[in-house]
Chains A and B, each alone.
Chain A
Amino acid sequence: MIDAIAQQPMLAALFALVSLGIVFGGLLGFAAEKFKLKGDPIIEQIDNLLPQTQCGQCGFPGCRPYAQSIADGDAINKCPPGGQATINAIANLLDVPAPALDEEHGEEEEIKTIAYIREDECIGCTKCIQACPVDAILGAAKLMHTVIVSECTGCDLCVEPCPVDCIDMLPVIQGIVQWHWPSPASNIDLIATSKMPRREDAA
């Protein structure tokens, strides 16, 4: 047997490689089955990271279609409401480099805004109600409409259809309850701006 193999090194090598391939292939297959990641499919996970404003600024009718599109290989930087944080999170999830926000789709807003209807001016046309992707506007035809503040995502899709321009996007008020300490300024800035602040500065 060994002699035979020695005389046919080519066959021996082939045999060895094929059998190794079979063994390791089997192992990998087994491992893939045994340690299969049980979890949300990738679309779910991306959708979870998107801000769910349903604003359509990415060019898709809602967050989930965009998640679907990302899963199919679309760029991940088309979501202005989520901003850089969302881009980073998706990049982290998909293990790709995080690009900057694509300004074509809009700019990242510092402060979250919410729609308010100037109720005196509302004519009750229901156009905003039809435009709202999350059913956050309450009202009926010929009757005054109002925004349910807690449900508004600030997508501003209702502003444009309003025939009398009575919808304002107003910043959310940051009260004491919402306040939290900001991150400390970077030390480079500190050194650059204040060379050892002393009593003169404080006065």
Chain B
Amino acid sequence: MAFKQISSPHGHNPQNTGWIMQLVLLSTVPGFLALSYQFGWGSFINLIVAVVTSLTAETAILACRNRPIAFYLKDYSAVVTAVLLALALPPLVPWWVVVVGSLFSIVIAKQLYGGLGYNPFNPAMVGYVVLLISFPIEMTTWITPLSLLPDGVSHPGLWESMSIVFAGSAPVDGVTGATPLDIFKHSSGLVVDQIYQNEALFSQASFAGVGWEWVNVGFLIGGLILLKTGVFTWHGPLAMLGTLALMSILFWDGGSSESPGSPIMHLFSGASMMGAFFILTDPVSSAVSNRGRLIYGALIGLLVYVIRAWGNYPDAIAFAVLLANFAAPFIDNYTLPRTYGHTDRRKATEKQEEK
């Protein structure tokens, strides 16, 4: 009898890439629920459109590249990209915006670079940035959170939402509004206390900004679940949130008219939590070592704050992540761990070990 020649180890623990991706998907549920509760059906429709587009695009490209389709679809990576993009987009954005973003993410940012594992940039964020630059109006029109809706007005129902998304009918007045970060961006003459008194978004908030705070809490919960299951390490998210908090404390400025906002506001507004736990933890495009991920996370936190405070855009997760993606190989070069039996860490490009 002849047995096969197989290299050790023999046997494997049960988890696989598809399972990890499914775990990520499951962990987005709290954030998704919070989004849907606060902003209506829009995110749900985004999700469906994005997933369908992404899977279609992925299938088409895999077929073109002569790859086994079912085998690669089973890794769920296209679904994860689609979901993250859908959750980052404003609810009730026209359907073609979602389609363009998804196509760009999957076709250009992922498959043209060689598919899963070979993309230097986070595909969802590439899609997002393309949309933000190409369609600024659609991308900055956000829905008013549930509790701030004027009396007698409610979020459009599923059917009405679909007609807004697919047929382009205009939403009811008062349904769209500014986000907390928008407000800070555009009210430079006022001291923070005045903003907090004038804007219902803050005066009625529990701790950071109506609606947004709960969305961020949702993503925080999902992120902590992933952390617990060991899908990623704490290094990236903690460094990012820590740096963001540190920067906002440093420049808090006592709440003067120049102040870019409080640490709590920054941590629980915009895409902070989603970015920290779901975007920058994308392992493919991030730094590889734990030390590298600390630097990578901190760089993103810093960039997010810099762009939010002094840049042109109210939020900056996508830009910050893409810029840090550029820096990841450079960070990797200097952050190799110290191997057993070596006195010092080495550089990735080193030719001869320095003794």
Contacts and interface: CB of A to CB of B under 8 A. Distances in A.
* A and B in contact, CB less than 8 Å: yes
Interface of A: 181, 184, 188, 191-192, 202
Scoring A184, A191, A192 by chain B CB atoms within 10 A of each residue's CB, the highest score goes to A191
A180 to B, nearest CB: 11
Contacts of B4: 202
Contacts of A191: 68, 71
B347 interface: no
Contact of B67 (A181, A184, A188, A202): A188
9 contacts: A181-B7, A184-B7, A188-B67, A188-B68, A191-B68, A191-B71, A192-B68, A202-B3, A202-B4
Contacts of B7: 181, 184
Interface of B: 3-4, 7, 67-68, 71
Q: Which 5 A-B pairs have the closest CB atoms?
A: A191-B68, A191-B71, A181-B7, A202-B4, A188-B67
Nearest to A184: B7
Nearest to B1: A203
Nearest to A192: B68
A48 to B, nearest CB: 14
Nearest to A187: B71
A184 B3 CA distance: 17
Contacts of A202: 3-4
Interface residues of A, dominant DSSP: helix
A184 B4 CA distance: 13
A169 to B, nearest CB: 30
Contacts of A184: 7
Contacts of B71: 191
B177 to A, nearest CB: 50
A88 B286 CA distance: 29
A45 to B, nearest CB: 13
Contacts of A188: 67-68
A202 B2 CA distance: 8
A70 B259 CA distance: 64
A90 to B, nearest CB: 18
A86 B3 CA distance: 36
A202 B71 CA distance: 23
B8 to A, nearest CB: 10
B161 to A, nearest CB: 41
Nearest to B4: A202
A192 B68 CA distance: 8
B89 to A, nearest CB: 34
B118 to A, nearest CB: 14
A121 B321 CA distance: 74
Contacts of B3: 202
A198 to B, nearest CB: 13
Nearest to A191: B68
B5 to A, nearest CB: 9
A116 B355 CA distance: 45
A202 B3 CA distance: 7
A113 to B, nearest CB: 26
Contacts of B68: 188, 191-192
B67 to A, nearest CB: 7
Contacts of A181: 7
Nearest to B3: A202
A202 B5 CA distance: 11
Nearest to A197: B4
Nearest to B2: A202
A50 B314 CA distance: 58
A191 B73 CA distance: 14
A193 to B, nearest CB: 11
B337 to A, nearest CB: 25
A191 B72 CA distance: 11
A191 B3 CA distance: 20
